[in-house]
Amino acid sequence: MFTGAMTALVTPFRDREVDTRALEALVEAQIAGGINALVPCGSTGEAATLTHEEHLAVVRAVVRAARGRVPVIAGTGSNSTAEAIRLTRGAEEAGADAALLISPYYNRPTQDGIYRHYGLPLILYNIPGRTGSNITPDTIARLARLPNIAGVKEASGNLAQVLEIIDESGPDFGIYSGDDILTLPIMAAGGHGVIAVGANLMPRAYVELTDALLAGDLERARMQNHRLLPLMMALTLEVNPIPVKTALAMMGQCADEFRLPLTPMSPGARVRLEDVLREYELV
């Protein structure tokens, strides 16, 4: 089982191409910060705008840069089951340790369709705000009985649902917060880690938070969560990954470049974000 703080990596672009050099430097910074795993090609990695060739090239670059020092959990989800299988096999061939599969979007399948959608250990990714469909606790518990389903990234924002999943899925099934701000309550209730956006900026701080929670030290965890709260909130000023990539650009770690339909951060939000980054002495 994967545990602790895992980074939902951004995908740096430069001149409309994947900036492999910036990506490799970001991986190195994450490992230096003690991060527990790397998760490329998810929502934060703008996977929806990557070609299949770029998608697998990003996974290969992260695996190569990580050099086995931390696990790589590659985002390989799609609304097409055949495409998800192809991406997952490609990630496995590239050397990824596991795959993260978003619930099929747009199609809005039934719970049985979701079950039949899902080699590698697979982590479910439930984010109904983006997919338009929720994976219910019953379906997650059903999937948890399959030998290759290792856990779920829960980004429904529904703590009652998370508690039900923890109760129904068994102790060997990984429960990971998909919202930075819910890391404390989810892990305090029995979750195993977070796939975090803010860890792109402050990996060690997120590791300290999850280490405290895994050790059962709630007082230390609350203090660390309080320290991180302004950053977590700032990273929600606009839709992810616009704020986090803008922050990395302010820190000189990548270009301030997105692919449409994502656009650069609005001026007012950008000023507010920079003010927060200055409080953390990140810029």
Rounded to whole angstroms, the Cα distance separating 140 from 159 reads 15
Nearest to 62 by CA among 2, 19, 118: 19
Active-site residue list: 125, 153
H, E, C per residue of the chain: CCCEEEEECCCCEECCEECHHHHHHHHHHHHHCCCCEEECCCCCCCHHHCCHHHHHHHHHHHHHHHCCCCCEEEECCCCCHHHHHHHHHHHHHHCCCEEEEECCCCCCCCHHHHHHHCCCCEEEEECHHHHCCCCCHHHHHHHHCCCCEEEEEECCCCHHHHHHHHHHHCCCCEEEECCHHHHHHHHHCCCCEEEECHHHCCHHHHHHHHHHHHCCCHHHHHHHHHHHHHHHHHCCCCCCCHHHHHHHHHCCCCCCCCCCCCCCCCHHHHHHHHHHHHHCCCC
Residue 74 near residue 91 (C-beta atoms within 8 A): yes
Is the peptide bond preceding residue 261 cis, with omega within 30 degrees of 0? yes
**Which residues share a beta bridge with 153?**
125, 176
